[in-house]
A and B are shown apart, each in its own frame.
Chain A
């Protein structure tokens, strides 16, 4: 409200500035230009006298100059007749201005301005206690801190899982990547990094993600979630037998009543089929059921992270299928627009193969070959993927 009062005051002052000269009573007719000329010439005459006293001009030249100026004065004086003063339009213009100035200024301002957004100087914002219920505010503070202190591992450690929880998977992956750079390899971080990368890439396990997951599993064989995503990656890469082995490893290291067992068993079945192995290939036995996935003493069950796998596992089959299909269609659409992305084509071919859409996979493969026909090294990589998934020419 105060803002609008101030606007009104400003407008009033500006309008007043325009109409004040218009409403002045004694509007003397403006001195005609010729009058000014005469004044200038009189100044010049006075100047001439001063110059002569100082000896800056010889008497003969000064006399000539005086004559010349005097001639100009006469000419100007002759022209010095005031033209007829017409009836003033002052009233009309004043009235128009009273309407024009506020209408134009308010009209333009309403279109451009943001009167509802308060000013937000930084110092009071930082001084105000953080509102714990306002996650955005907290994140903003941490981001500001990290922008200036990009080497502060603690900041990255706080913000990475927060991004993950908010579904900002790309940001989360970047944060984990930075944290690993700062802290050195750590299986838990690599697992989280791999997971967020996969999520950020619409479920596709990229090379960078696979490397991180491999490292996590190598350093800590009991990282169930890392193994789960690693197995997905192996499947997508067409390494079906290794995927089966990975699922067997998960089964070995999980309690029989762990919530992800059903999903693991189902995926293992798909991997067996893809590898051309009989569906009843025997697998290892899980551990004794413990009633809860969080394990007994010494058990390396991966704590909270298993809940996420559980969440994925609990998703109904149809939902999951829809989600994956959606992601694949997105990827396909993106490649249609911007085909110069060899990694994207490789992912798409794998994805179609995983979804058992062989014809689509074949079509994507042909299009990719067409796109990169001038780049043998890219073609080789694409051919490799095609061979992996069994559609190569």
Chain B
């Protein structure tokens, strides 16, 4: 019965979403307060209903109710409880339900916390949210209904894809969806502004925190997905330029650009039109990501099911929202007032540079992702656009951006002094040079690009931190006052520093692991010893055992460094009996920021087994850096201080009437 209540609640939510997508717009047009007030009420009720629906499906998974097709296809009575719950979204139907649940939660958040929002803007924003909800609820009910029933019910389910039976499934999709769907709020604000034909002061104040929150979640979601693939798939890699990865990376790039242009808009009232366009593009890329992953165009772990009807439906949603959004933009953008003027060398100018490069990088990823698909669709020819393409396009775009990052915070608004900024960055520059020298010496002249890469990472990190120090003005005001000034700096300043330093950490991890890792593949038998990096690995023995829903072969190994035991490793191979699928479970030992990574290949038949080993220096920095970036975003988000545009006193003869 719970399942049917969940099903009905979902249908009811669709009815409410229809009301929410029409009535508030009429209200905003007619300045009818009562009609506009429907929006928050409907959004809250809708969130409760979709929550109820999601709870009902979760309950069915928890009690293994095999009268529901979705549960039969993706669960198993012996699965550990955690995976029963995460299995709810470990499949196409359930993950779409999670998608709309998060959408509804965001809508409810706007309804609940949007008190200081102008009534008509709030009504329009929620109505646009309502459109998105209607589209996706209709998609779920028409093509991907998780509540379809089966009678008579079987006694056992077909189990969840073993690769997904991992704690990562509990974290990665919800975070990623919080990011994707969070951008729907920026999109809704952009569309609402276009409908109203004006962007008021509250608009920018509202868009930036939502974008920042979505960006934080997306950053963490991508990092988590990357780490999950790294330890679960057993290939030892952390990023593959796989179309599915790119699908989440493109919204991130566009979202990062949006984040920075929203700062300009909030502070300087400039770049309004561009910000609106970026908001539309970012959410469009999120939708494109959903389309690529969910339509079955791509086959991967993520494409749970392929069904042409679903692909066509999502394609229609995609065209409606992207096409509609851009058409509206083309029609109404001219009605938005232009913002303030600024010199090319200024904080605004730096942020524009950031936007241009990020957008270009995003475009290169888009081409690399879609070109093979389009080519296959047109000519049937299958080509693979992999790392070489992205190294040649994405890489060269990123280098100037990364070099420019430390300059940004040093430049003043409206008109900056590049020379002064350079002078104040001398310490960071020196630090980078010293780092390059030290690394070149330590690796006795390793690959030149890698050494320069490490230097660039140092430049980013030291440059970000030195900005804080120079803001405190220790040299001018003395140590104690400087400390007080440092403590008094707004949190958003700390946010910038921390996020930029996090970027440097990630870069350091990437460069280190790409250039300095060592890898060994060898056949080992009990008693054998192999060398990897600084370690000697001894094969102690094997062990066969049974897990709750799999059989496994565990290999016991000991890692020694100069004869001293540093770690015990137990990589294993599992065989999931129900799905008849094997998986490899890598064994990873973290020492400092580096990792020793062991995974098993095939058995050779004469008692030997293929063992792949990696010594990965500083690899964890890749994900820690992303978490630090997220922390920076969080710091900035927690800064409730309003940003005030502080123009220089009018010393220039023709000071523009600032920012209007």
Given contacts A17-B45, A88-B32, A117-B151, contact A100 B66 (CB under 8 A): no
Within 8 A of A (CB), among B1-31: 1-5, 7-9, 11-12, 14-16, 18-19, 23, 26, 30-31
Question: CB distance B78 to A148 under 8 Å?
Answer: yes
The total number of A-B Cβ pairs within 8 Å is 240
Question: CB distance A61 to B647 under 8 Å?
Answer: yes
Q: B153 contacts the other chain (Cβ, under 8 Å)?
A: yes
| Chain A neighbourhood of B44, CB < 8 A | 17
CB distance from A74 to the nearest CB of B (A): 11
| Chain A neighbourhood of B67, CB < 8 A | 117-120
Question: CB distance A105 to B14 under 8 Å?
Answer: yes
Listed stretches A64-72, A171-179, A382-390; interface member? A64-72
| Chain A neighbourhood of B19, CB < 8 A | 18, 97, 100-101
Give the residue among B26, B38, B64 with the most A Cβ atoms within 10 A.
B38
Give the residue among B11, B77, B121, B200 with the most A Cβ atoms within 10 A.
B11
Question: CB distance B41 to A18 under 8 Å?
Answer: yes
Query: Which size class do A's interface residues fall under?
Result: 35 or more
Q: B404 contacts the other chain (Cβ, under 8 Å)?
A: no
Q: A44 contacts the other chain (Cβ, under 8 Å)?
A: yes
Within 8 A of A (CB), among B612-660: 641-642, 644-650, 657-660
| Chain B neighbourhood of A133, CB < 8 A | none
Kindly supply a per-residue 1/0 record for chain A positions 24-35, scoring 1 wherever the CB is within 8 Å of any chain B CB and 0 otherwise. 100111111111
**A120 CA to B67 CA in the complex, in Å?**
6
Within 8 A of B (CB), among A94-142: 97, 100-102, 104-105, 108-109, 112-115, 117-123, 125-126, 136, 140-141
Kindly supply a per-residue 1/0 record for chain B positions 353-368, scoring 1 wherever the CB is within 8 Å of any chain A CB and 0 otherwise. 0000000000000000
Q: B488 contacts the other chain (Cβ, under 8 Å)?
A: yes
Q: A56 contacts the other chain (Cβ, under 8 Å)?
A: yes
CB distance from A163 to the nearest CB of B (A): 16
| Chain B neighbourhood of A63, CB < 8 A | 649
| Chain B neighbourhood of A32, CB < 8 A | 118
Q: A311 contacts the other chain (Cβ, under 8 Å)?
A: no
Q: A41 is contacted by which of B198, B201, B659 (Cβ under 8 Å)? A: B201
Question: CB distance A117 to B647 under 8 Å?
Answer: no
| Chain B neighbourhood of A100, CB < 8 A | 15, 18-19
| Chain A neighbourhood of B42, CB < 8 A | 17-18
**A56 CA to B30 CA in the complex, in Å?**
45
Question: CB distance B646 to A61 under 8 Å?
Answer: yes
**A55 CA to B658 CA in the complex, in Å?**
22
Listed stretches A5-13, A183-191, A218-226; interface member? A5-13
Question: CB distance A118 to B141 under 8 Å?
Answer: no
Q: B119 contacts the other chain (Cβ, under 8 Å)?
A: yes
Question: CB distance B645 to A65 under 8 Å?
Answer: yes
Q: A284 contacts the other chain (Cβ, under 8 Å)?
A: no
Q: A303 contacts the other chain (Cβ, under 8 Å)?
A: no
| Chain B neighbourhood of A31, CB < 8 A | 118-119
Question: CB distance B45 to A148 under 8 Å?
Answer: no
For A62, give the chain B residue with the smallest CB separation: B646
**A18 CA to B38 CA in the complex, in Å?**
6
**A93 CA to B1 CA in the complex, in Å?**
33
For A146, give the chain B residue with the smallest CB separation: B156
Question: CB distance A108 to B14 under 8 Å?
Answer: yes
Q: B145 is contacted by which of A57, A86, A112 (Cβ under 8 Å)? A: A112
Question: CB distance B155 to A119 under 8 Å?
Answer: no
For A65, give the chain B residue with the smallest CB separation: B646
Question: CB distance A148 to B8 under 8 Å?
Answer: no
- Top 9 nearest A-B pairs by Cβ distance? A30-B119, A144-B155, A121-B63, A21-B37, A17-B45, A33-B118, A122-B64, A90-B34, A144-B156
Sample (14) of A-B pairs whose CB atoms are under 8 Å apart: A2-B1, A14-B15, A17-B41, A18-B45, A22-B35, A30-B120, A56-B489, A61-B647, A65-B645, A68-B645, A71-B657, A105-B14, A112-B11, A150-B577
Apart from A7-B8, A89-B32, A100-B18, 14 more pairs, CB < 8 Å: A14-B49, A21-B40, A28-B33, A37-B201, A47-B641, A61-B646, A61-B647, A64-B647, A64-B649, A100-B15, A105-B12, A140-B155, A143-B156, A148-B578
